[in-house]
């Protein structure tokens, strides 16, 4: 098995992120640093990450977390800020599926299932993400909603049509299927309403329900089945 795939199956990161971990010199095989993600390994090869040995695939687990403001959406942070992984104690080596800005709140998934994470983040599967955005310069008029629904021209191209509805004079519900960097913020700015706050309420078939800020729960079998189906695994 290729080293990057081995790390993904062991719950270190998605396969793509595992390649970055390997190239950063954090992985050893038999005590020697290896920077080639395509290196063939198995459970007897003595693979370790940051000095911690990997014994092979972990039980696949996926959690939904209500991310509070001020928490970063990474597995670890070089500046010592709290991360989403810190909020889900346990033995599994988890990493977030996608990102929310540090000041954004709401639903984020954490998993050690690299294959599922890759599919959820891949644009081909168009997993919908729903947000509630509080914006400046109210009221939000029909013209702005039409622009969001038809597609907004950003510096990296025209966005795909979004679902948009007004929740209040300064509040929008927006559902997108792309994963561009800070896309909702840029879309709101492009239609004349700079973003004040952002909260993600849904990802694919999942919602926060009554989950409070900073709380998490493991996905049920039925939820995981629906999520896999949305990602083309069912």
> Catalytic positions, please?
101
**Alpha-carbon gap, residue 126 to 103, rounded angstroms:** 25
Q: Which of 184, 180, 159 is nearest to 172 (CA)?
A: 184
- For residue 157, give the 3-state DSSP assignment: strand
The helix (run of H) or strand (run of E) holding residue 119 is: helix 114-121
Q: Which of 126, 89, 130, 129 is nearest to 110 (CA)?
A: 89
Q: Spell out the residues 6+ positions from residue 25 whose beta carbon is closer than 8 angstroms to its own.
A: 33, 35
Asked if the peptide bond before residue 139 counts as cis, ω within 30 degrees of 0, the response is yes
């Amino acid at each position: 098995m290729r080293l990057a795939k081995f790390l993904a199956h062991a719950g270190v990161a998605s396969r793509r992120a595992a390649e970055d971990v390997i190239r950063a010199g954090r992985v050893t095989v038999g005590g020697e640093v290896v920077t080639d993600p395509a290196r063939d390994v198995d459970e007897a090869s003595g693979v370790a990450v940051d000095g911690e040995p990997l014994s092979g695939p972990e039980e696949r687990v996926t959690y939904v977390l209500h991310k509070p403001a001020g928490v970063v959406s990474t597995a670890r942070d070089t500046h010592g800020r709290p991360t989403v992984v810190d909020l889900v104690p346990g033995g599994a080596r988890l990493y977030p599926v996608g990102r929310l800005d540090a000041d954004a709140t709401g639903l984020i998934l954490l998993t050690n299932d690299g294959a599922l994470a890759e599919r959820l983040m891949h644009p081909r599967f168009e997993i919908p993400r729903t947000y509630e955005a509080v914006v400046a310069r109210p009221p939000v008029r029909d013209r702005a909603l039409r622009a969001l629904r038809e597609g907004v021209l950003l510096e990296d191209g025209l966005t795909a049509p979004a679902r948009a509805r007004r929740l209040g004079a300064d509040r929008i519900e927006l559902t997108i299927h792309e994963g561009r960097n800070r896309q909702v913020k840029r879309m709101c700015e492009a239609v004349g309403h700079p973003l004040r706050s952002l909260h993600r309420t849904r990802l694919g078939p999942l919602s926060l329900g009554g989950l409070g800020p900073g709380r998490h729960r493991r996905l049920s079998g039925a939820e995981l089945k629906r999520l896999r189906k949305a990602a083309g695994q069912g």
